A and B are shown apart, each in its own frame.
Chain A
Amino acid sequence: MSAEFPSVSEAISQEQIDDYAEISGDYNPIHVDQEAAAASEFGGTIAHGPIALQTFFRSLTGLTGGEALPPGTQVKVTFRAPVRPGDTVHSELREREDADGATALSVECVNQDGTIVIAAQAEIPS
């Protein structure tokens, strides 16, 4: 695979979190209930994990050039820190190895403070 890894940046809003709750049916109070979330250990609402992950997914599909990922693609994701409304998350390539007919990637999604919110690895067959 010769294409460059495209970094993707996305600003996260409460409106977007509410949209994701509607799409997914995940109305966990920590995401959508301002009062309950303020009383939680997070001190306010946080985004659903897949919202921040979207920057990584968009980078992968940008790299592979399709709407879906190629069959045989393997992805591992670790959610490291919460993402809050007002944060901006972007995906950054850390390591890349093209060998044996596959591309291996190590990617971090970081917020505007440089905090790693997601660490991800992908192996994509050619």
Chain B
Amino acid sequence: MSDEAPALSNVTYDELEVGQALGTVTEPVSAALAGSLAGPIGEPGEAAVAPPAVFPVLFLKALRRTLGGIPNGGVLAKYELDFGAPLQTGGEVEIEVSIADKYVRRERPYVVVQFLITGADGERTLTGRKIIMWPTGPGEEAPS
């Protein structure tokens, strides 16, 4: 593992508030990263423009840095993605992360995390929402 941020987080459902800003981070988007996500995952390559698969990776990197790790035991349920200006590789993006919603449906807790991704030129490249079935529900403590 090359990142310094912790790998997994035990933030509970109750600790998150709707509208809560988790923070803003910057992440590089290299031609090699984009290339490895343009075709079969992990196949080396280079790309001048970021393919759509780059954005879920940026979600994970931003979550790891703003939430203290990726939710331990969380299950990915949905994505909602609104694409903006194409993202040229070789620069950095700014990722603003917040809690857009949380709810319980069919006795399962869900948290909606929103990502606003802006390119180096200041143009919005993606508005993304990631809906995660959270590992803890209302009133529950983090697993030890």
B76 and A71: CB pair below 8 A?
no
Q: Which residues, 64 to 110 on A, are CB-close (under 8 Å) to B?
A: 66-79
Q: What residues on A are CB-neighbors of B81 within 8 Å?
A: 73-77
A-B pair count, CB < 8 Å, reads: 118
Smallest Cβ-Cβ distance to B61: which chain A residue? A25
A57 and B64: CB pair below 8 A?
no
Q: Which residues, 20 to 73 on B, are CB-close (under 8 Å) to A?
A: 33-34, 36-42, 47-53, 56-57, 60-61, 64, 70, 72-73
* Majority secondary structure of chain B interface residues (helix, strand, loop or mixed): loop
A74 and B82: CB pair below 8 A?
yes
Specify which of B2, B41, B61 is in contact with A51 (CB 8 Å cutoff): B41
Determine which residue in B1, B52, B72, B86 has the highest number of CB atoms from chain A within 10 A of its CB, and name it. Answer: B52
B80 contacts partner chain A, Cβ-Cβ < 8 Å: yes
B70 and A26: CB pair below 8 A?
yes
Smallest Cβ-Cβ distance to B85: which chain A residue? A71
B51 and A61: CB pair below 8 A?
yes
A67 and B7: CB pair below 8 A?
no
B11 contacts partner chain A, Cβ-Cβ < 8 Å: no
Once the chains are docked, how many angstroms separate the CA of A60 from the CA of B34?
16
A75 and B38: CB pair below 8 A?
no
Specify which of A19, A20, A27, A75 is in contact with B83 (CB 8 Å cutoff): A75
